[in-house]
Amino acid sequence: MPKLILVRHGQSQWNLENRFTGWWDVDLTEKGVEEAKAAGRLMKEKGVLPTIAFTSYQTRAIKTLNLALEEAGRLWIPVIKDWRLNERHYGGLTGLDKQETRDKHGDEQVHIWRRSFDTPPPPMEPGSQFDPGADPRYEGIDVPYTESLKLTIERVLPYWESDILPVLASGETVIISAHGNSLRALVKHLSNISDEDITGLEIPTGQPIIYDFDDNMVPGERYYLKDS
């Protein structure tokens, strides 16, 4: 029975500081490191051991994966990195403190930017402080300047269909270490969640989510590994 493990990166420095992060590359906090290690220990304890891994181009997801795999004794498995698993791009909000943004633009507008399905934040100015466009990891990639959840889904799902699902269907146990919104995109698809409901779904940091697939590659109900 093919098994999929989804894990959101451990707490990052900007999670702690309550700032919009998006494509900006921030590191894990000490708490985030421990969350990642705990995820790996849990996988080992439960005997849910990945055989291949996918992650984004962002340090917080890569480090979470490596720390978890080390605890699980699985550092040796193949790892594929792809920008399409990156976090949603928060545009001009990147780097801003969330409370300051609410004070400036109002609770309602910030709620729309954060939680609407298809309304992106204002675009980032090219060449601005947090523009990742000059980062060598994105060479040759048409880096977005803002994304809604809908736009994030439009890059995540084709990658899921073309690159991850065939690996899963071959019988591998796949782990994806990614971000709140790129994982929301997958959970929306796999659990058939509506556009309205998906924006309210919280994906906690460092808590492995499991999907078991049947022989026809139909996923069962998602559950947290800690509850199994």
Sign, CA torsion 54/58/61/67: positive
Judge whether 161 counts as a catalytic residue.
no
Using CA atoms, how far apart are residues 151 and 149, in angstroms rounded to an integer?
5
Q: Is 9 a catalytic residue?
A: yes
Alpha-helix runs per DSSP H in the chain: 13-16, 30-46, 59-72, 98-105, 107-115, 149-159, 165-169, 180-191, 195-198
First to last CA, the chain: 16
The token duo for 153 is 């889904």
**Could you say which of 35, 71, 87, 147 is catalytic?**
87
The single residue of 9, 35, 89, 179 carrying the catalytic annotation is 9
Burial of 126 from C-beta contacts in 10 A (0-12 / 13-18 / 19+): exposed
Q: Residues 193, 198, 202, 208: what is their CA dihedral angle, to the nearest 10 degrees? A: 40
How far apart CA 66 and CA 32 sit, in angstroms, is 13
Helices 30-46 and 59-72: angle between axes, nearest 10 degrees: 40
Q: Mention every residue, 6+ apart, whose C-beta is less than 8 A from residue 227.
A: none
Residue 51: DSSP 8-state: S
Please give the positions annotated as active site: 9, 87
